[in-house]
Amino acid sequence: MAFAQLTYRESLRDIEACLRAMQSKLYHMGILKLTFLPNESMLGDDGDGTVDKSHPNDLGMMRQEQVFVKALTPILKETK
């Protein structure tokens, strides 16, 4: 969220687009293995994973955890 405030970004899509555009610059700054996770369906498409269609509830957090585990498992195996 600090990134959004410092760069005056208003939406998650806007933040993601900005970070993707900066990927090469971030690489040269030393962030070599940057991974982007799609956030569109991270909370589910049924609306049950949020309190207000934006902020996750317990089900939404569980769905996020499943996305994170799927993405992080191979990354963490590389570091061993």
Stronger pLDDT, 68 or 34, i.e. the higher one: 68
pLDDT value at residue 22: 84
Q: Calculate mean pLDDT across residues 25-36.
A: 85
Q: What are the boundaries of each domain within the chain?
A: 1-31, 37-80
Q: Calculate mean pLDDT across residues 27-31.
A: 89
CA dihedral for 63, 64, 66, 67, sign (positive or negative):
positive
Task: In whole angstroms, give the CA distance from residue 48 to residue 42.
Answer: 12
- The rounded radius of gyration (Å) of the Cα atoms in the chain is 15
* Whole-prediction pTM: 0.64
Q: Calculate mean pLDDT across residues 57-75.
A: 92
Q: Calculate mean pLDDT across residues 28-45.
A: 82
pLDDT value at residue 48: 92
- Closest to 38 (Cα-Cα) out of 64, 58, 57, 60: 64
Stronger pLDDT, 3 or 59, i.e. the higher one: 59
